[in-house]
Amino acid sequence: MKLFKDVFLNKDVCSDAFKMELIDDAYYVFTGKLQIRSDAIDDALIGGNKSAEAEEGEDEGAVVTKATESNLIGSANLDEAMIADKKDFKKKISAYGKKLMGHLQENNPERLDVFKAGMVKVVKMFLEKFDDIVVYSCEEDGYDFEGMLIIHETINADSKKGDQPDDICKLYVFKDGVYEEKC
């Protein structure tokens, strides 16, 4: 298995455990799905026994939370980035692009033209879909923006119902913003 790690933070972004496609040699699109995440604990797994006094189906006061979550986000513990609006997004993605171009100039200058062309194309797409995407960052980078802005899109099977388990989701990751690590 390969992990894709942020070149600036050395933190996980995604892995090849998900279906992935390289677009224009500039960015990856990872495909996952929405799943139900629950914080319920099965006492049997930790040697616990249900109280003899408990009624069938009674939860003995435990509060169980369930949420629909993208398996792409949960697998790398990505944090939602604090992006106020489209103008803020443009500012932050532009700053990231400049930072990554500096990194490429220093480490891999032959990739600069490919990166620039891909960046222009994909950022235009993100701006057109801005209301339908969520911006994430690596774990603990949601306020600092030292690493990559990771774009997440959910494609609802039924837009009237909103996010549902098994809906398709996509994660967009700049190729030059990650490095591969075999594990």
Q: How does pLDDT run across 16-74, given as a tens digit for each residue?
A: 999 999 999 999 999 999 888 766 666 666 666 666 555 555 555 567 777 778 889 88
Which residue, among 142, 147, 140, 14, has the nearest Cα to 71 in the 3D structure? Answer: 14
Instruction: Please report the pLDDT score of residue 92 as a whole number.
Output: 94
Provide the CATH number for the domain formed by 2-38+69-182 in this structure. 2.170.150.10
Which tops the pLDDT comparison, 161 or 85?
85
- Name, in order, each residue with C-beta under 8 angstroms of 155's C-beta and a sequence gap of 6 or more: 167, 168, 169, 170
The predicted-structure confidence for 112-167, as pLDDT tens digits, reads as follows 999 999 999 999 999 999 999 999 999 887 678 899 999 999 888 787 877 788 88
Q: Could you give phi then psi for residue 173, rounded to 5 degrees?
A: -135, 125
Which residue, among 5, 6, 24, has the nearest Cα to 16 in the 3D structure? Answer: 5
Q: Could you give phi then psi for residue 107, rounded to 5 degrees?
A: -110, -25
Which residue, among 63, 72, 66, has the nearest Cα to 36 in the 3D structure? Answer: 66
- Name, in order, each residue with C-beta under 8 angstroms of 176's C-beta and a sequence gap of 6 or more: 7, 26, 100, 103, 104, 108, 111, 115
Q: What is the mean pLDDT of residues 75-103?
A: 93
One-letter amino acid for residue 48 of the chain: G
Instruction: Please report the pLDDT score of residue 177 as a whole number.
Output: 95
Q: Which sequence spans correspond to the domains of the chain?
A: 2-38+69-182
Q: What is the mean pLDDT of residues 101-109?
A: 96
Does 182 score more than 70 pLDDT? yes
Instruction: Please report the pLDDT score of residue 8 as a whole number.
Output: 95
Residue 70's H or E segment, with its range, is: strand 66-70
Does 176 score more than 90 pLDDT? yes
Does 111 score more than 70 pLDDT? yes
Instruction: Please report the pLDDT score of residue 4 as a whole number.
Output: 96
Does 1 score more than 80 pLDDT? yes
